Amino acid sequence: MSTIVTAGQRFRQALAEEQPLQIIGTLNAHHALLAKRAGFKAIYLSGGGVAAGSLGLPDLGINTLDDVLTDVRRITDVCEVPLIVDVDTGFGPSAFNIARTTKSLIKFGAAGFHIEDQVGAKRCGHRPGKEVVSLEEMADRVKAAADARTDDSFYIIARTDSIASHGVDHAIDVAIACVAAGADAIFPEAAYDLATFEKFRKAVNAPILANITEFGKTPLFSVADLKPTGVEMLLNPLSAFRACNKAAETVYEAVRRDGHQRNVIDLMQTRDELYDRIGYHEFESKIDKLFAAGKTK
């Protein structure tokens, strides 16, 4: 009898094999397949990406759990690379909401999530004006998630946005409380230098995730930059999303301006490349076999 390996177990294995583990943001199922092809051992679904990419809305806590679950299911249906999901503040004010979020993500095949300490009316982590809940309330959020796990390997990352409003030392206190409440790892959002990451790693008895997002408060540190600090995970949440948005805008403007797409063909994935990346021919061959079997009857 074969043993089922869960998504959380696959993520933990990836973390054991590669440090810092590169976690790359995937906008949709097709991008998840592209990330797998590129060799990534872990992928990510951004809450801001769901809001902007799937809904055309800003990252202000507007999207719902069901919005996120739709994109999670589409990714996990076709790609077994372990997926970490951004669940903002947990999609609800109470422990019951957070428990539902945790159980739903496990059911939909996610490997883990990160939950943050911002208030319900949250903002992008690299914007001014963020407000956070108390240390005790954030620890309660983490405990609610940890207690609700139906799979012990499901990976819970506690994100603290407290650096901007309360300073690094307070954020470390939050991180320590979250680990005590059951968090597997800590995500210090908008850390501004390598020394800050190193300080977290030395103070907190848990792996640290560095969010290396473009055009934000954190410099674009590389794997080589972060490795000496002891950081275990490097997240690039929206790099491909930003690139494809810029490419799409360029194509739309060119086609409208020129009346044709000939000047932007070089920006496009070819038909053959698309078919290869999504396994089109394998699907088509199954149809051919079905038709052939039908003709012999």
Which residues are annotated binding-site positions?
46-48, 86, 88, 124-125, 159, 189, 211-213, 242, 271
Tokens at 210, concatenated: 């560095």
Q: In this predicted structure, what is the pLDDT of residue 183?
A: 98
Lowest mean pLDDT among 196-205, 228-237, 254-263, 272-281: 272-281
Does the pLDDT at position 1 exceed 60?
Answer: no
The annotation places the binding site for substrate at 46-48, 124-125, 159, 189, 211-213, 242, 271
How far apart are the C-alpha atoms of 221 and 229, rounded to whole Å? 11
Antiparallel, parallel or unpaired: β 185-188 and 155-160: parallel
Among 223, 165, 233, 188, residue whose Cα is nearest residue 16? 233
Residue 12 has pLDDT above 60, yes or no: yes
In order of 68, 119, 124, the CA distances from 48 in angstroms are 10, 16, 7
Question: Is CATH 3.20.20.60 the classification given to domain 7-238?
Answer: yes
Residue with tokens 């407000």: 131
CA–CA distance, 80 with 278 (Å, rounded to integer) = 14
Mean pLDDT of 268-281: 92
Nearest-angstrom CA–CA distance, 79 and 28: 11
Nearest to 211 by CA among 185, 187, 229, 239: 187
Residues ≥6 apart with Cβ < 8 Å to 248 = none
Instruction: Give the bridge partners for 209, in sequence order.
Output: 233
User: Cα–Cα distances in Å, from 128 out to 60, 90, 135, 165?
Assistant: 12, 21, 20, 9
Residue partners of 29: CB distance under 8 A and separation at least 6: 74, 75, 77, 78, 79
Catalytic residues: 44, 59, 86, 88, 114, 116, 124, 159, 189, 211
Angle between helix 135-148 and 168-181 (nearest 10): 30
**For residue 120, what pLDDT is reported?**
74
Task: Give 150-172 pLDDT, tens digit per residue.
Answer: 999 999 999 999 999 999 999 99
Please give the mean pLDDT across all residues of the chain. Answer: 94
Known binding residues for Mg(2+) are 86, 88
Cα distance between residue 226 and residue 20, in whole Å: 7
pLDDT of amino acid 129: 78
Residue 248 has pLDDT above 60, yes or no: yes
Q: How confident is the model at residue 91, as a pLDDT? A: 95
Residue 203 has a pLDDT of: 97
User: What's the pLDDT tens digit per position in 187-201?
Assistant: 999 999 999 999 999
Round to whole Å and give the CA distance between 92 and 260: 47
Beta strands in the chain (DSSP E): 21-25, 42-45, 83-86, 112-116, 155-160, 185-188, 209-211, 233-236
What value does the mean pLDDT take over residues 29-52?
97
Distance of alpha carbon 283 from alpha carbon 165, whole angstroms:
52
What is the DSSP track for 171-236? HHHHHHHHHHHT-SEEEETT--SHHHHHHHHHHSSS-BEEE--TTSSS----HHHHGGGT--EEEE
Predicted local distance difference test score (pLDDT) of residue 114: 98
* Higher pLDDT, residue 283 or 243: 243
Give me the residue spans of the domains in the chain.
7-238, 245-292
Q: Tens digit of pLDDT for each residue in 61-88?
A: 899 999 999 999 999 999 999 999 999 9
